[in-house]
Chains A and B, each alone.
Chain A
Amino acid sequence: MKKPELLLIDDEPMVGQRLKGGLEKLGCAVEICEDPARALDLIRKKNFDIVITDVMMPEISGMQVLEAARTASTQTRVIIITGFATANLAREAMEKGAYDMIAKPFKPADLRKLVVKAAVEMGYSDIKEY
């Protein structure tokens, strides 16, 4: 059974540590990346089904990650997670092809729901919220 490939990018290590287990439990193959520059390399080398990215990161922003992911594959669903959410940022993200956006702090279950929705849309029918 093929698992959806998921990349989670956040320069704050705690975020990845907190979310990884839950996302794997859904049935995703999860890669965590704290360095956005390295994340861009990963995105260019491998087609991820779902990319979850923070926005405010040193040197490279989540918007750049979003653009890179959508350039690498228009099929990739990019979910934005940010502590600096505004209506303008949300609109910019949607215009650049984001799948969805959640403001931090959020409940991990809310993110999992979004991941399930995205994965099911991509044809991963075995994935479901626990």
Chain B
Amino acid sequence: MSIVAIVSKYADESSKIAEFTALRLGYRLVTMDDLIKTAAKDYNIPEKDLAQVTRDLTLWQHLFRKKKLKLVSLLEHKLCELMADDGIVFCGYLGYPIFKEISHALKVLILADPQTGKSAAADSAKQPDLLSNDGIAGWFEKIYQMDMEDPKLYDLTLNLLQMDISEAGDIIINTLKQKRFEPMTYSMNCMCNLELACQVKTSLVERLGDVEVKSHDGTIYVYSKAFKKGGRKAAKEVKEDIMRMPGVNYVEVYRERAPFDEIHI
């Protein structure tokens, strides 16, 4: 079964569409809250820490950035694991680099009335644990260096100023019927590769900070500027550590960023 990823800074509206779509397709609905709860339970990490890292943007300016990157990486790894189950609708602002590599994942951007943003901003002022709509977009840009509302990132952009929730849901369901969104050996293998890459990245991010990892059939490619400082010794240690992980056959490390367009997370 395919995957639907609904991304939006309008959390209320997009979660209603996700709920409608999941119900109609018979898919499992996974929200940001579900993801945080599952990851907290499975990794034995306080839910509060995971929630905070996805909600409090100001914390990213301060110390412990590597620790926060690790928590995001853990959430992405958990998302990969959840996607391995048959048919999910994910609604949230995390995991874009994962979805973009999976051909059977339909990526949907939801736009809504900006006035909704203002009321949500007021809500977030009352409830500091919630990100405002602009806060969500800011978080996305900070983590992924991309404009969340750039339509080029998505297969489908739906504007709720032009349609209601059920119409948006119907469009998603009809689009998903296209043959291009059917799973195939390549895309299923991509998911396995991404899951392993996420796992490796999680193990490295606290040590190296900004690191990109690519995986193909057990071969791991690690890209990090941190190798420039530590030189050969650091690279050797990283290689040895990764080689001990299950499913890894070979490791290559690079001192630069991964080439654009290549699969990395």
In the bound complex, residues from chain B placing their C-beta under 8 Å from that of A97 are 179
Q: Are B216 and A103 in contact (CB under 8 A)?
A: yes
Q: How far is the CB of B92 from chain A (nearest CB, A)?
A: 20
Taken residue by residue from 86 to 110, chain A's Cβ proximity to chain B (1 for < 8 Å, 0 otherwise) reads as: 1110111011011011110111001
Q: Are B102 and A87 in contact (CB under 8 A)?
A: yes
Q: Does B103 contact A (CB under 8 A)?
A: yes
Q: How far is the CB of A51 from chain B (nearest CB, A)?
A: 16
In the bound complex, residues from chain B placing their C-beta under 8 Å from that of A105 are 217
Number of interface residues of B (CB under 8 A): 18
A45 vs B238: C-alpha distance in the bound complex, in angstroms? Answer: 55
Taken residue by residue from 142 to 186, chain B's Cβ proximity to chain A (1 for < 8 Å, 0 otherwise) reads as: 000000000000000000000000000000000000111110111
Closest B residue to A87 using CB positions: B103
Q: Which of A90, A107, A110 contacts B187 (CB 8 A)?
A: A90
A85 vs B189: C-alpha distance in the bound complex, in angstroms? Answer: 11
In the bound complex, residues from chain A placing their C-beta under 8 Å from that of B103 are 87-88, 90-91, 94
Among A90, A106, A107, find the residue whose CB has the most chain B CB atoms closer than 10 A: A90
Question: Given A103-B216, A105-B217, does the pair A90, B178 have CB atoms closer than 8 Å?
Answer: no
In the bound complex, residues from chain B placing their C-beta under 8 Å from that of A100 are 184-186
Number of interface residues of A (CB under 8 A): 20
Closest A residue to B180 using CB positions: A91
Question: Given A91-B180, A94-B180, A95-B178, does the pair A101, B101 have CB atoms closer than 8 Å?
Answer: no
Q: Are A114 and B185 in contact (CB under 8 A)?
A: yes
Among B100, B103, B189, find the residue whose CB has the most chain A CB atoms closer than 10 A: B103
Closest A residue to B189 using CB positions: A103
Closest A residue to B178 using CB positions: A95
Closest B residue to A113 using CB positions: B185
Q: How far is the CB of A29 from chain B (nearest CB, A)?
A: 23
A94 vs B216: C-alpha distance in the bound complex, in angstroms? Answer: 22
Closest B residue to A96 using CB positions: B179
30 contacts between A and B (CB under 8 A): A85-B186, A86-B261, A87-B100, A87-B101, A87-B102, A87-B103, A87-B187, A87-B190, A88-B103, A90-B103, A90-B187, A91-B181, A92-B180, A94-B103, A94-B179, A94-B182, A94-B184, A95-B179, A95-B180, A97-B179, A98-B184, A101-B185, A101-B186, A102-B185, A103-B189, A103-B216, A105-B217, A106-B217, A110-B185, A114-B185
What is B's interface to A at a CB cutoff of 8 Å? 100-103, 178-182, 184-187, 189-190, 216-217, 261
Top 6 A-B pairs, shortest CB-CB distance? A91-B180, A90-B103, A87-B103, A101-B186, A95-B180, A94-B179
